[in-house]
Amino acid sequence: MSADFKEVMSVRVDAGSRTLYVDLKENPDGSKFLSISEVKRHGHEARSRILIDQEYVPELFRALCAVVEFLAPKGEPKSYSVEQKRQMDPRAYEPWTEKEQQRLKEGFARGVSVEQLAQEHGRGPTAIRRRLERLGLSSRPG
């Protein structure tokens, strides 16, 4: 990683005896990456850092949303709105049409990955897996 990157934005998260920093940074070539750092509360030395290329941030977001949804007590409202979810998955929470389900079955039969099917249908991978299960098809990883 080059020290020539520019910080685009930074969000601080207080986490008990540590502080987490979620930073969006830009390389000289214009590509962006996410940096997540953990720092001791009374020190400035980074204990650990994770770097994530821009192209993988949407999938990380989906994964974090799935974890938050799983951890939320039953009956508690979701921590995101439908509008926010549709920024990542344009057709999230829309009803499935017969035509779309047929396209999903055909894609699955051709061996198209769950990730690719999600992109083609404008829905998240979890939605694709659940729909495949409802259609009596077992989804494969990825």
pLDDT in tens, 79-113: 667 777 777 778 877 888 889 999 999 999 999 98
User: Which of 77, 79, 100 has the alpha carbon at shortest distance from 90?
Assistant: 100
Give the pairing type, strands 32-40 and 46-53: antiparallel
| φ and ψ at residue 2, rounded to 5 degrees | -85, 150
**Strand order across the beta sheet in which 46-53 lies:** 6-15, 18-26, 32-40, 46-53
- Per residue in 22-68, pLDDT tens? 999 999 999 999 999 988 866 666 578 899 998 888 888 878 877 77
Q: Which residue has the higher pLDDT, 54 or 3?
A: 54
Per DSSP, 90 falls in state T
The domains of the chain, with CATH numbers, are 6-54 (3.10.450.700), 89-137 (1.10.10)
Look up the pTM and report it. Answer: 0.49
Q: What is the model's pLDDT at position 43?
A: 61
Give the pairing type, strands 18-26 and 32-40: antiparallel
CA distance 98 to 81: 26
